[in-house]
A = this chain, B = another copy of it.
Amino acid sequence: MRAAIYNGPRDLTVGERPDPRIQASTDAIVRVTLACVCGSDLWYYRGQSAHDQGAIGHEFIGVVDEVGADVRDLRPGDLVVAPFTWSDGTCELCRAGWYANCLHGGGFGNHGIDGGQGEAVRVPFADATLVKVPGFGHSDETLRSVLALSDVACTGNHAAVSAGVGPGMTVAVVGDGAVGLSAVLAARRLGAERIVALSRNPARQAVAREFGATDVVADRGDAAVEAVKALTGGLGVEAALECVGTGESMATAFAIARSGGMVGAVGAPHDVVVPIDTVIFRNVGLRGGVAPARKYIPELLAAVLAGEINPGRVFDFETDLEHLVDGYDAMDERRAIKSLVRVGAA
């Protein structure tokens, strides 16, 4: 099959990889229809995070092509969305809802597991991992939003859920990438009354407003902190959603959180220092991490199919598998929020 091949930093090609085959009776083979490029793929592309040579990509939707003998809930032809991690659904951590930390699971597109940026993927524990998309003849707009559920919409949701966002709350989102914008959408869906988006990019500001941001702060660093405080009676926000993963973004998130508030963090951390004095002396908590997407997908999928949310709005660049690198470059150069990759027919 044709698939992306990571050879090293700035060296990504599309070539031939072995067709996936059923290896365990709980596997399914999924033909990928839509895939996309994640902000964390850029860390690999730039050489800032390690990645195995070979398959890459962990966000995809597609059609079930073949199932193992013990797969019960899926059959060939089913349209499915894959969370970015696979999980057995039965271990103690899965039962507690922490699917991304499954004792027997892992992520797609690394360490010998097929990537979503390719024509087909072997999915372990298919019944537990994949979520079937009900109905037929979905619009392209709907399918783009379903694709967003594979990672970014769930990751933004995890930031908001981790920070305890609920009705009437005052929230700020640090980061205007696809995850940050998704966190704005999540905060709105969870009932936040005031949502401050930190962004200096007009296109991203516009999406943030569409997703429910009530205020936009274009400053950075100390000026951003002062601006958010000025918007919140000097107190700061009850929930600060950290969706970048740098030391500066984490520092900003803690600085704009009011005493007793929470930082919900989902950015992959690079040189991040948690200000422990803020945790202890201002009672600002920290929670978040790799999102249990499998937990959130059913609820968010229902909202997408009901037309209540449109997380696919984050895709503002489109390419096909053979031109995948264009999608990376558009994001790397910040010309695009997030790149969609058309792979196969539905």
Q: Please give the residue numbers on chain A whose beta carbons come within 8 Å of chain B beta carbons, in ascending order.
A: 92-93, 96-98, 100-101, 162, 233, 235, 245, 250, 258-260, 262, 265-269, 272-274, 276-277, 279-290, 292
Contacts and interface: CB of A to CB of B under 8 A. Distances in A.
Given A235-B92, A283-B288, A289-B283, A274 B274 contact: yes
Contacts of A268: 280
Contact of A280 (B259, B284, B290): B290
A98 B235 CA distance: 13
Contact of A283 (B267, B277, B290): B290
A265 B289 contact: no
- Kindly report how many copies of this chain are found in the complex they form together: 2
A201 B279 CA distance: 29
A50 B281 CA distance: 15
Nearest to A158: B283
Nearest to A259: B101
A265 B277 CA distance: 11
A281 B290 contact: yes
A283 B286 CA distance: 10
B283 A100 contact: yes
A292 B260 CA distance: 10
B289 A287 contact: no
A100 B276 CA distance: 17
A233 B92 contact: yes
Contacts of A282: 101, 289
26 contacts: A92-B233, A93-B258, A97-B260, A101-B259, A101-B260, A101-B282, A101-B283, A162-B285, A265-B279, A265-B280, A267-B280, A269-B279, A272-B276, A273-B273, A273-B276, A274-B276, A274-B286, A279-B286, A279-B288, A280-B288, A281-B290, A283-B288, A283-B289, A285-B286, A286-B286, A286-B287
